[in-house]
Amino acid sequence: MEQGIEVSSTQEQVRLRYAKLAQEITDPGGCCGSTGSSCSPGYSGRELSALGLAETQSLGCGNPTMLAKLAPGEIVLDLGSGGGLDVLLSARRVAPGGHVYGLDMTDEMLALANRNREQAGIENATFLKGTIESIPLLDRTVDVVISNCVINLAEEKAPVVREAFRVLKPGGRLAVADMVEVEPLDPAAKLNLDDWAGCVAGTIPIGQYRSMLLEAGFEDVQIEVQDTLCRPGLEGRIGSAYIRAQKPSPGDS
């Protein structure tokens, strides 16, 4: 258990998995590699080269930095920042004047992220320790919340979405890549902690995801499935999706 952070058995399984991945980061892994998805994060080789990093640093199922359409001067939060690739790419896009926070509960990932930040020479990025269900930032402090294949790992997703809504400024936006349930899963799979940590068991149906965002207060919710798993027994049932939503501005009707 991480010091100062209460975790459930599901969170502990996730933490252990990603602690191990942090130590073996040179090998493909994470949601894409471990579940048999044919998804490709689609990072620019030029951007990765500028950071001195490889795409294998990504454990995600998409490229939320592209989805978010970041602009100089914006404040960004990455939920479940892992080795920090999306944070560092975002930091370059919001410079000058912007800043990016990465939030992760795993010490090994935070250490890796800080090493990557130093290697890339990025100064406008900060990595925070904590859980995505309880974000250690004040209300209305960020312009954009991004995440890459992490929200599905949360045992209870509604608190995560509510926290994202809380820290966003009015008019702020959510832009995440995540795994979703396209077709119903076998109930037994939902109880498998290995499948949960592997971004399978924790997925929820697209309609439920949409309702959860709307109930939190978001508007203009868009969910676009990009790819589906080819893993035996799961063909077409689980897919990677790009999810966008916006926090209303004062005066919005």
Whats the size of the chain, residue-wise? 253
List Cα–Cα distances, 191 to 16, 132, 167, 202, in angstroms: 17, 21, 31, 9
pLDDT on residue 187:
67
Give the pLDDT band (50/70/90) at residue 46. confident
What integer is the mean pLDDT of 148-171?
A: 94
213-222 pLDDT tens trace: 999 999 999 9
Asked if pLDDT for residue 201 goes beyond 70, the answer is no
Which pLDDT does position 171 carry in this prediction?
A: 97
How far is residue 116's CA from residue 114's CA, in Å, rounded to a whole number?
Answer: 5
pLDDT in tens, 71-98: 999 999 999 998 899 999 999 999 999 9
Flag the least confident range among 59-63, 65-69, 76-80. 59-63
Spans of all domains in the chain: 9-246
Cα of first residue to Cα of last residue in the chain, in angstroms, is 45
pLDDT band at 52 (very low <50, low <70, confident <90, very high): confident
What angle, 0 to 180 degrees and rounded to 10, lies between the N-to-C axes of helices 206-216 and 157-167? 40
Q: Supply 142's token pair.
A: 């960020």
pLDDT at 5 over 70: no
User: Residue 149 in 3-state DSSP?
Assistant: coil
CATH code for the part of the protein at 9-246: 3.40.50.150
Cis before 96? omega within 30: yes
What is the Cβ-side half-sphere exposure of residue 241, based on CA atoms within 13 angstroms? 26
pTM (2 d.p.): 0.82
Model pLDDT, residue 65: 87
